[in-house]
Structure 1
Amino acid sequence: MESVFQLKEIQYKDILQVERMDIPLHKITCIIGESGSGKSTLLKMLNNLISPSKGEIFFKDESIQNMDSVELRRKVIMLGQNPVVFPSTIRDNFHIALGFSEKELLPDQKLEEYLRMVHLNKSLDQTVETLSGGEKQRLALARVFALDPEVLLLDEPSSALDEETETLIIEETVNYTKKYNKTLIMVTHAKLIAENYGENIVRISKGRYVMKEEK
């Protein structure tokens, strides 16, 4: 199976240690483990937001230490637990993100399609100040879809959502990943989500990669 990421002899301070890890291309990988085990640290290293203290990470067989970080993050986009939204309209949030990534602006019809994908029934002219925390999280996810990355890194993408909405959003994200042949790497606190949607499950315990389960 082709890998999108390979980690070799990785250590990050005293937080995380990985001797060897392969994350498959065009698959859904769920990262699970107890709170504070190093899951978010692992995710941040995959698009070089932080660098390992030792070891090497490869993206499609190229060491990310040798890659331009901006170019890497345009291909490998991370959505954290508390995503930044810009204090303007929903439309402007899409446009600003697309501008940062040097991508063409999309027509309103396409932007509205992304909003529907995350079940956010709002006008593009609405200001983000009127949105709840969960709605801002969904807007940020829709923005990631619009950026068309090769790899989506999602850190608890549904943490601010109720259980019913969480299921809808995870399903839409999985559908997007499969429809457009993306790679999804997702940290989740919910074991059921990992079991239902993860094609590859990475388990982190006390800062160590302890198990990988493939379906």
Structure 2
Amino acid sequence: MNPLIETKDLEFNKILTYPDMKIFPNQTSFITGKSGSGKSTLFKLFNKTLNPSRGKVFYNNNDIAELNTLELRKEILLVGQSVFLFDKNIRDNFSEYYTYLDKKTPNDDLIKKYLGICCADFSLDKDCISMSGGERHRVYLAICISLLPKVLLIDEPTAALDTLNSIKLIENLLNFSKENFLTMLIISHDQALTETFSQQTIKIGE
């Protein structure tokens, strides 16, 4: 099987260097490493938010430097630590993103299903501006999984959750990814979660 994402000699700003890595289709990989080791930067290199100062990232055997950025980001979605939601309710946020992508917005039952997967069981009329950072992160994650990308990059999805809900969220995401042939990469500082759920662990900065 060929890797879906592969890196070679990757470096950013001559400060952050990365091991060569291979991410295979339909696999869940956890990215670990100390703060400042470049984990979040790596995700931004994967979807061309940033460009490497050296080395290459390949997606489906293609150098991503040669791929259309907007088309790439439809297939590789990034859920960073800071996410953007409109100052509207949850339902309208789904609608805004789907309208932008020229897609039909899911009905309320489907939206609730995606929210439930992401441990975000809120009323669809809830105003997103009133939410905590962790709540906003999970609502945005729900929007992203609903779009069924090929690859989902998730930065610290359990940071604002207790242990039980952290386990529930990762279990839900793993089940969803298996059902929908989704490749997931998750940045996590939680060693127990990583050891329990990771199919591949990539250590950065060691």
| Alignment TM-score, normalising by the size of structure 2 | 0.94
Question: Which residue type is aligned with residue 109 of structure 2?
Answer: Q
Aligned to 1:48: 48
| Alignment TM-score, normalising by the size of structure 1 | 0.90
In 2, Cα distance between equivalents of 1:9 and 1:120: 39
Aligned to 2:109: 109
Change (3 A) 1:19 1:117: closer
Change (3 A) 1:117 1:19: closer
TM-superposed CA distance for 1:123, in Å, is 1.8
Contact kept in structure 1, 2:19 and 2:204, CA below 8 Å:
no
TM-superposed CA distance for 1:19, in Å, is 5.3
Question: Which residue type is aligned with residue 91 of structure 1?
Answer: R
Structure 1: tracts of 5 or more residues without a match: 211-215
In 1, Cα distance between equivalents of 2:165 and 2:19: 37
Contact kept in structure 1, 2:8 and 2:57, CA below 8 Å:
yes
In 1, Cα distance between equivalents of 2:47 and 2:189: 21
TM-superposed CA distance for 1:116, in Å, is 1.7
Identity level (%): 33
Cα RMSD for the two superposed structures: 1.4
TM-superposed CA distance for 1:103, in Å, is 2.2
Q: How does 1:116-127 map to 2 (within 5 A)?
A: 116-127=116-127
1:126-168, Cα deviation, whole Å (9 max, x unpaired)? 2113323222121111111111111000011121222222221
Contact kept in structure 2, 1:9 and 1:54, CA below 8 Å:
yes
In 2, Cα distance between equivalents of 1:15 and 1:25: 29
Other structure's SS at 1:167 match: helix
Aligned to 2:97: 97
Question: Which residue type is aligned with residue 142 of structure 2?
Answer: A
Query: How many pairs does the alignment contain?
Result: 206
Aligned to 1:26: 26
Question: Which residue type is aligned with residue 5 of structure 2?
Answer: F
2:108 is the counterpart of 1:130: no
Structure 2: tracts of 5 or more residues without a match: none
1:168-211, Cα deviation, whole Å (9 max, x unpaired)? 11111111111111100111111111111110110012xxxx5x
Aligned to 1:169: 169
In 2, Cα distance between equivalents of 1:32 and 1:158: 14
Q: How does 1:176-187 map to 2 (within 5 A)?
A: 176-187=176-187
Other structure's SS at 2:6 match: strand
Question: Which residue type is aligned with residue 204 of structure 2?
Answer: I
Contact kept in structure 2, 1:137 and 1:160, CA below 8 Å:
no
In 2, Cα distance between equivalents of 1:181 and 1:19: 26
In 2, Cα distance between equivalents of 1:15 and 1:180: 37
Which shifted more, 183-192 or 129-138?
A: 129-138
Other structure's SS at 1:94 match: helix
Higher strand share: 1
In 1, Cα distance between equivalents of 2:15 and 2:164: 33
